[in-house]
Amino acid sequence: MQPDQLISALASRRLVAIVRGRDPEAALDTVLTLVRSGIDLVEVSLSGTDALRVIAGARAVLGPDAPLGAGTVLTAEDARRAAEAGAAYAVTPAVTEAVAASRALGLPVLAGALTPTEVVAALREGATAVKLFPAGHGGVELLKALRSPFPDVPFVPVGGVDAEAARAHLAAGALAVGVGGPLVGRAADGDPAGLAERIAAFRALAGEAS
């Protein structure tokens, strides 16, 4: 995936589903369920159990063109292993060595930042877009404040983003939002109760914002 392709995917989907679980088989099933239900821009967090195996399994099923990414990429080694597993893009929680390492591997990066200084550092390291994290720390007012000095930066709020916050961030100019627990629930731990209903609700929300 090229950087412009990631930007296009974020702009058209408006939603990144974040999968992090303790049960690798359930996590893989969750990824596939999300994609088959119309939420196909998915990030598998490396902090989940056997996350690389989940990414590799999803890639094998979904094919080479699926916009499947790796999240919680912290180090250059994380970036290398994620790329080998089949990740098409990388997501970091902060500006770490993983940003430049991912770019060197050809992966576009959604790099975590919270302050103006961190936004500048993320862009300097080659970030394709800025993951505003944790978005719940400052709410939509933080996004509005950062967009004043950085009107052309594509922001993707993540962390503490439920349906109400997602709607507010998208209305305030976020390119997309990243959503984990409020969408996935405990499905990646083996309890898919309510997943279909949450998928339908977030698909509708993304559709409203498009």
pLDDT digits (tens, 9 = 90+) for 120-164: 999 999 999 999 999 998 889 999 999 999 999 999 999 999 999
DSSP code for 106 = T
Over the stretch 181-201, which tens digit does the pLDDT of each residue have?
999 999 999 999 999 999 999
Q: What is the DSSP letter of 152?
A: T
CB 45 within 8 A of CB 72: yes
Token pair 């998208």 is found at 170
Label residue 174 by pLDDT band (50, 70, 90).
Answer: very high
Q: What is the pLDDT at residue 153?
A: 98
The SS3 of residue 203 is: helix
* Contact in structure between 58 and 88 (CB atoms under 8 Å): no
d(CA 69, CA 59): 10
Mean pLDDT of 6-23: 98
- What confidence category does residue 210 fall into, taking pLDDT thresholds of 50, 70 and 90? confident
Average pLDDT, the chain: 97
Say what the pTM is.
Answer: 0.97
Query: Which entry of 25, 97, 131, 208 is annotated as an active-site residue?
Result: 131
Catalytic position from the list 25, 43, 77, 208: 43
pLDDT band at 113 (very low <50, low <70, confident <90, very high): very high
Catalytic: 43? yes
144 catalytically annotated: no
Least confident of 18-27, 30-39, 49-58, 133-142: 133-142
The structure tokens listed for 106 are 């050809």
Average pLDDT over residues 52-67: 98
Percentage of the chain modeled with pLDDT above 70:
100
